Amino acid sequence: MPVLDPAQAQFDIHVPAVVVGGGACGLTAALTLADAGLGVLVLERDANPSGSTALSAGLVPAAGSRLQREKDIADTPAIFAADIAAKAHHENDAEVVRAVAEVSGPTIDWLMDTHGLDLHLVEGFRYPGHSQLRMHGPHSQTGADLQQMLLVAAERAGVDVLTSASVEDVYADADGRVRGVRFVRPDGSSETVGCDVLILACNGFGANAEMVRQYIPEMADAAYCGHESNTGDAVRWGEALGAGLADLGAYQGHGSVPFPHRSPLTWAVITLGGFQVNTEGKRFANEMSGYSEHAQEVLKQPGGIAWDIYDARCEAPALAFHDYREMQAVGAIKQADTLEALATVTNLPLAALRETLAQATACAAGEATDPLGRDFTTSPALKPPYRAARITGALFHTQGGLTVDTDARVLRQDGSPMPNLFAGGGAARGLCGPAAWGYLSGNGLLSAVMLGRLGGAGSEPATGRVRTRPAPSAMARCRRPTRRP
Ligand SMILES: Cc1cc2nc3c(=O)[nH]c(=O)nc-3n(C[C@H](O)[C@H](O)[C@H](O)COP(=O)(O)OP(=O)(O)OC[C@H]3O[C@@H](n4cnc5c(N)ncnc54)[C@H](O)[C@@H]3O)c2cc1C
């Protein structure tokens, strides 16, 4: 994973822009460059580009989108930025947060109107910390569909996506100017490509157990539910190039992961009045603080296990998630018409469960105060028929990475911009500050899509090329780029 001297390289081909990683960040950056008529090559380690993007719920928060305007939702980038900053206790980069919030609505419109992504606005519940309805995603609410739509758009726009191409080395001058990369094929052969700009969109280090233990020790033994190819390459290249790194202890956890299914059970069932109990039938933390930091609370319980307890009303929005319906189909969601039956199907102690439910019901009626600090009055009390799911806490992705400016340009340790290196998504410093508690739902794809957009636009002048051609209407995906004679 070293940074090599360009004098050692005879580049096989040269392209204006190389993007490492074909997830939401890389494809959004590539689409932006393709719109400008600039040649871009996406190098993707996997045979089929999927990334954590395909594992996600595919929900991207954005303010000021056309879909919001059509529903008369009075959201603005300023309100959105304030929500992101508040969740992170203002310990994130305010300028980057502002830039990302400002570009968010127009980027969703651009993805839909220019690149044909079929997105909708999620209605019916708000994730904790979001003061407006602003989650945009595929109708299925699966990241797999978001990823597929981005790939189709990239294909239509003529983006070259080279798969089974694992970037191993970066060639850079002593001042950090990147000249190209070397990538390795599954048969062990390697090739080089020179470039004017390099965009790192290869996510974080969630799949690198050693780095997780080093930077996020509290999650070292937790299940990792993200993509296995995200091995921290951007951080290691950044270190070698003298780039600034920040918030390496930050991550998105999830405190509601039915195991071994590995995909999250939407937190909507909790925000609408559901709660969590441990195997003793007792609540243990204020669930409304956020699902990310709740991962650790769950992991502290006996066996690292808890139960989501909710009812049919809370379940209604969850049914819109393809993953939820799959969990139903495999029996991960228990149903019970009475409290006694709920205790039986969950094997939870009936007396404790009854006491916990009575306490939550009294809090919802305003007759008691929750000792854990949750305001239950925002939703009706649970009533039969009940639902329950056995869950654990898990690591979804890391949020620390390369420090970037509002153009997604990578910064040196002294804060000055590197000449032609850009980063976004999980490769860059995230938006949640130094820890899991700063993660506002949607920050992951927000950083991926919006820093991809900003990085694509920001890197355009750094290629030194002029816009030469309109994006072709349709070109084959996963083509081998043409070699220069
Ligand atoms: C289960 C789950 C649910 C989630 N739900 C949501 C959600 O609803 N909303 C939200 O905002 N966020 C969510 N997230 C987080 C979100 O998925 C990520 O933050 C986002 O997908 C990151 O996008 P990315 O483009 O940076 O990385 P990825 O989508 O992971 O793409 C990175 C790509 O880089 C490739 N790569 C890595 N190293 C190399 C290399 N050296 N050479 C070539 N290629 C390389 C990888 O193979 C991968 O395809 C969820 C995450 C998980 C795991």
Following DSSP, what letter does each residue of 301-328 receive, concatenated? Answer: SGGGEEEEEEEHHHHHHHTT-HHHHHHH
Radius of gyration for the chain, computed over Cα atoms and rounded to the nearest angstrom? 23
Ligand 1: residue of 202, 205, 440 to mutate (most ligand atoms within 8 A of CB) is 202
Ligand 1: residue of 25, 53, 148 to mutate (most ligand atoms within 8 A of CB) is 53
Q: Is the pTM of this model over 0.85?
A: yes
Residue nearest to atom 51 of ligand 1 (CA): 56
- Give the Cα-Cα-Cα angle 58, 60, 61 (nearest 5 degrees): 150
Residue nearest to atom 4 of ligand 1 (CA): 56
Residue nearest to atom 10 of ligand 1 (CA): 442
425 Cα: distance to centroid of ligand 1 (angstroms):
7
| Per-residue tens of pLDDT for the chain, all 485 residues | 689 999 988 999 999 999 999 999 999 999 999 999 999 999 999 999 999 999 999 999 999 999 999 999 999 999 999 999 999 999 999 999 999 999 999 999 999 999 999 999 999 878 889 999 999 999 999 999 999 999 999 999 999 999 999 999 999 999 999 999 999 999 999 999 999 999 999 999 999 999 999 999 999 999 999 999 999 999 999 999 999 999 999 999 999 999 777 788 999 999 999 999 999 999 999 999 888 889 999 999 999 999 999 999 999 999 988 889 999 999 999 999 999 999 999 999 999 999 999 999 999 999 999 999 999 999 999 999 999 999 999 999 999 999 999 999 999 999 999 999 999 999 999 999 999 899 999 999 999 999 999 999 998 877 777 655 443 333 333 333 333 32
367 Cα: distance to centroid of ligand 1 (angstroms):
44
Cα separation, 440 vs 453, in Å, equals 20
In sequence order, the β-bridge partners of residue 392 are: 257, 305
453 Cα: distance to centroid of ligand 1 (angstroms):
16
Identify whether the C-beta of residue 385 lies closer than 8 Å to the C-beta of residue 336: yes
The H or E element containing residue 210 is helix 209-215
Ligand 1: residue of 219, 326, 445 to mutate (most ligand atoms within 8 A of CB) is 445
224 Cα: distance to centroid of ligand 1 (angstroms):
13
DSSP string, 33-56: HHHTT--EEEE-SSSS--HHHHHS
Peptide bond into 385 cis (omega under 30): yes
56 Cα: distance to centroid of ligand 1 (angstroms):
8
Complete domains list, the chain, with CATH: 3-250+399-479 (3.50.50.60), 251-395 (3.90.700.10)
Cα separation, 451 vs 295, in Å, equals 26
Which protein residues are within 6 Å of ligand 1, measured from CB?
Answer: 20-26, 43-46, 49-53, 55-57, 59, 143, 166-167, 201-203, 225-227, 229-230, 233, 252, 263-264, 396-397, 425-426, 442, 444-446, 448
